[in-house]
């Protein structure tokens, strides 16, 4: 076999490295978490795929469902609608995010910290909330409906405004990161070559941030096309793919057609996801070069323009938020504008009452605790374990997959998989457990990537040193890896908590009579016309998330000071 190669002929048989007890234990851990991903992700997705080829009685009908779909113009029209909304939202959201990020990272404007905090507010509320605010602002009896010059807020205009609000922080985070890794030396070089500010912008700034821009565009596109909250609340008669799935399943009980629409929605989301991954990889390559951090210099005119712009964006975000708060607090809009707390008496409405809020807290708590443990352990085993490369690659793939799967699709897939009578896991249907599992799975990817990034930043030789000192892996893990990664672990848990509070899409198919959730209550109360209580419940979610963020901030600082005193020289 080696006769044709120039290297020396190897002697004897290849060495087969014996695995240590650590290796075997780590592999077992990884196997268990991989099994979780298979059951909670791969098998349900398979179920939805096969369902799309079946009729109501579960018989295989080939492409019949797809043919029916494409012969129903009312349904196919949504494809165009979804793409239109997603493209327009992407253009607007990325433009705003880029200009804002540019101001925040490249100007010496004041109140940068405040603007950053305000820009993150949309992450803390369900995507249903901006729609509710828009109803109060621009609806039939809206406070400033004249500004629309007769256009209807129910429809594409309302959806796009809501989606811009909802996606802005995501785009901002990505673009800020891209702009913050700019190399000051390039700007000094440009200046020394007498390049104009404009030329420097187009030859240095834009190319440096291009992967971030493209990545942000795809993230916004995916979030928008898969979002269901905004079009549900403010879409009116304007159908998109996400609302179609909901209507097919909840409205018409046509699960097969729901599966077909799901697969169609999976396509653009999947493509956008793959392009984004490629871009991210290139961005990392750019980052690895050691650069000198860019420090903006004061420039009064530019700083004021950027300040004004950031103020405008902040006013937009705060207007949406405060409108909801206002809606929640007044008695009966627009006839009785006196303040009261009656809209917070959720037990008087449909939608599950206060119990749904407590259920949400429970879900968020479990998701944060269990999810963080599962995700971090999984990332550790897959990053630091040895051998079994095929399994490791499969694990990585499964961990990345949830990003490409819209929540509604995941939720529907869970119905098909877990509600099947012959499924041994059938007992978790309509319980808190299935909500926790679906939420962890839905938000697995970002959490996993956060963990992997933190683990990759650690010295790769820690494990080698541990092994040479005869320390079992779990000891090195608990005494070194976890403490060093604690900031990332806290980040993962707050991310999971906040998203568990706000998510609607996956859980809307899965909650049971005893497990209604706050975000779902917002949806259902809005559906029933109880818009003010819906706004009030949305604000409850906001208070909770804002409070948790503050706790997380304090906790992180406290933990950092206590256990990470080594960080301060």
Q: For residues 8 and 74, which CB has a smaller minimum distance to another protein in the complex?
A: 8
Q: For residues 20 and 114, which CB has a smaller minimum distance to another protein in the complex?
A: 20
Burial 87-125 (b: 16+ CB within 10 A, else e): ebbbebbbebbbbbbbbbbbbbbeebeebbebbbbbbbb
The owner of tokens 């060495």 is 15
Closest CA to 386 of 20, 14, 38, 36: 20
Q: For residues 184 and 465, which CB has a smaller minimum distance to another protein in the complex?
A: 465
Q: Does 556 bind another protein (CB under 8 A)?
A: no
**Helix ranges, 184-331 (H):** 184-192, 197-200, 206-226, 229-234, 241-246, 255-287, 300-329
Structure tokens belonging to residue 547: 């409070």
Q: What count of other Cβ atoms lies within 10 Å of the Cβ of residue 482?
A: 14
Q: Does 289 bind another protein (CB under 8 A)?
A: no
Question: Which of 144, 341, 464, 551 is in the footprint of another protein by CB under 8 A?
Answer: 464
Structure tokens belonging to residue 120: 């993150």
Residues composing the chain: 569
- Separation between Cα atoms, residue 214 and residue 532, nearest integer Å: 38
For 172, residues 6+ apart whose C-beta sits below 8 A from its C-beta are 97, 100, 101, 119
Per-residue mark of binding to another protein, 472-511 (x: CB under 8 A)? x--x---xx--xx---------------------------
Q: Does 459 bind another protein (CB under 8 A)?
A: yes
Per-residue mark of binding to another protein, 510-549 (x: CB under 8 A)? ----------------------------------------
Q: Does 14 bind another protein (CB under 8 A)?
A: yes
Smallest gap from residue 72 Cβ to another protein (A): 52
Identify which range of 188-196, 330-338, 373-381, 456-464 contacts another protein by CB under 8 A: 456-464
For 23, residues 6+ apart whose C-beta sits below 8 A from its C-beta are 385, 386, 387
Question: Which of 465, 528, 550, 551 is in the footprint of another protein by CB under 8 A?
Answer: 465
Q: For residues 335 and 566, which CB has a smaller minimum distance to another protein in the complex?
A: 566
For strands 336-339 and 330-332, give the pairing. antiparallel
For 4, residues 6+ apart whose C-beta sits below 8 A from its C-beta are none
The owner of tokens 């959720």 is 346
Per-residue mark of binding to another protein, 17-36 (x: CB under 8 A)? xxxxxxx-------------
DSSP state of 4: T
Q: Does 462 bind another protein (CB under 8 A)?
A: yes
Q: Does 558 bind another protein (CB under 8 A)?
A: no
Smallest gap from residue 6 Cβ to another protein (A): 9
Identify which range of 156-164, 297-305, 340-348, 457-465 contacts another protein by CB under 8 A: 457-465
- Separation between Cα atoms, residue 122 and residue 339, nearest integer Å: 25
User: Angle at the Cα of 178 (from 94 to 380), degrees rounded to 5?
Assistant: 110
Question: Which of 150, 198, 468, 513 is in the footprint of another protein by CB under 8 A?
Answer: 468
Q: Does 563 bind another protein (CB under 8 A)?
A: yes
Q: For residues 80 and 563, which CB has a smaller minimum distance to another protein in the complex?
A: 563
Count residues near another protein (CB under 8 A).
41
Smallest gap from residue 487 Cβ to another protein (A): 12
Tell me the sheet residues that pair with 385: none
Q: Does 1 bind another protein (CB under 8 A)?
A: no
- Which residues are near another protein by CB under 8 A? 7-23, 459, 461-462, 464-472, 475, 479-480, 483-484, 563-569
């Amino acid at each position: 076999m080696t006769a044709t190669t120039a290297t020396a002929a190897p002697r004897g048989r290849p060495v087969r490295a014996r695995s240590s007890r650590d290796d075997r234990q780590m592999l077992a851990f990884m196997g268990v978490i991989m099994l979780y991903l298979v059951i909670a992700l791969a098998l349900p997705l398979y179920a939805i795929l096969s369902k799309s080829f079946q009729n109501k009685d579960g018989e295989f009908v080939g492409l019949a469902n797809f043919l029916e779909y494409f012969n129903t113009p009312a349904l196919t029209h949504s494809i165009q609608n979804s793409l239109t909304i997603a493209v327009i939202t992407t253009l607007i959201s990325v433009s705003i995010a880029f200009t804002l990020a540019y101001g925040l990272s490249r100007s010496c404007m004041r109140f940068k910290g405040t603007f950053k905090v305000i820009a993150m507010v949309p992450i803390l509320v369900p995507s249903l909330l901006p729609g509710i605010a828009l109803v109060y602002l621009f609806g039939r009896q809206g406070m400033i409906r004249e500004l629309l010059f007769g256009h209807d807020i129910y429809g594409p205009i309302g959806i796009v405004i809501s989606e811009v609000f909802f996606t802005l922080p995501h785009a901002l985070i990505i673009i800020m990161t891209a702009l913050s890794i700019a190399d000051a030396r390039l700007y000094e070089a440009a200046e020394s070559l007498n390049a104009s500010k404009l030329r420097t912008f187009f030859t240095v700034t834009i190319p440096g941030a291009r992967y971030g821009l493209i990545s942000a565009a795809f993230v916004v596109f995916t979030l928008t096309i898969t979002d269901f909250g905004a079009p549900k609340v403010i879409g009116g008669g304007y159908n998109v793919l996400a609302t179609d799935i909901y209507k097919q399943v909840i409205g018409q009980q046509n699960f097969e057609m729901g599966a077909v629409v799901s697969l169609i929605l999976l396509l653009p989301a999947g493509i956008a996801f793959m392009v984004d991954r490629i871009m991210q990889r290139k961005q990392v390559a750019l980052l690895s070069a050691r650069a000198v951090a860019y420090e903006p210099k004061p420039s009064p005119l530019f700083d004021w323009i950027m300040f004004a712009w950031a103020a405008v964006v902040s006013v937009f975000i705060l207007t949406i938020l405060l409108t909801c708060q206002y809606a929640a607090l007044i008695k009966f809009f627009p006839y009785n504008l006196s303040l009261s707390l009656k809209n917070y008496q959720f037990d008087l409405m449909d939608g599950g009452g206060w119990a749904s809020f407590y259920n949400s807290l429970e879900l968020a708590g479990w998701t944060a605790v269990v999810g963080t443990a599962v995700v971090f352990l999984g990332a550790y085993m897959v990053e630091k374990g040895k051998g079994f490369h095929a399994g490791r690659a499969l694990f990585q793939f499964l961990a990345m997959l949830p990003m490409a799967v819209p929540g509604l699709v995941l939720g529907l897939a869970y119905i098909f998989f877990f509600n099947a009578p012959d499924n041994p896991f059938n007992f978790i249907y309509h319980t808190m457990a299935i909500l926790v599992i679906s939420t962890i799975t839905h938000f697995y990817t970002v959490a996993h990537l956060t963990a992997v990034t933190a683990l990759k930043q650690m010295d790769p030789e820690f494990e080698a040193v541990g092994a040479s000192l005869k320390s079992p892996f779990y000891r090195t893990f608990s005494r070194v890896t976890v403490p060093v990664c604690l900031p990332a672990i806290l980040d993962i848990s707050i991310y999971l908590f906040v998203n568990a509070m706000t998510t609607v899409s996956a859980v809307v198919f899965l909650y049971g009579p005893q497990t209604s959730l706050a975000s779902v209550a917002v949806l259902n109360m809005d559906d029933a016309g109880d818009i003010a209580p819906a706004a009030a419940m949305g604000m409850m979610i906001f208070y909770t998330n804002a409070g948790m963020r503050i706790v997380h901030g304090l906790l992180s600082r406290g933990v950092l000071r206590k256990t990470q005193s080594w960080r301060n020289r």
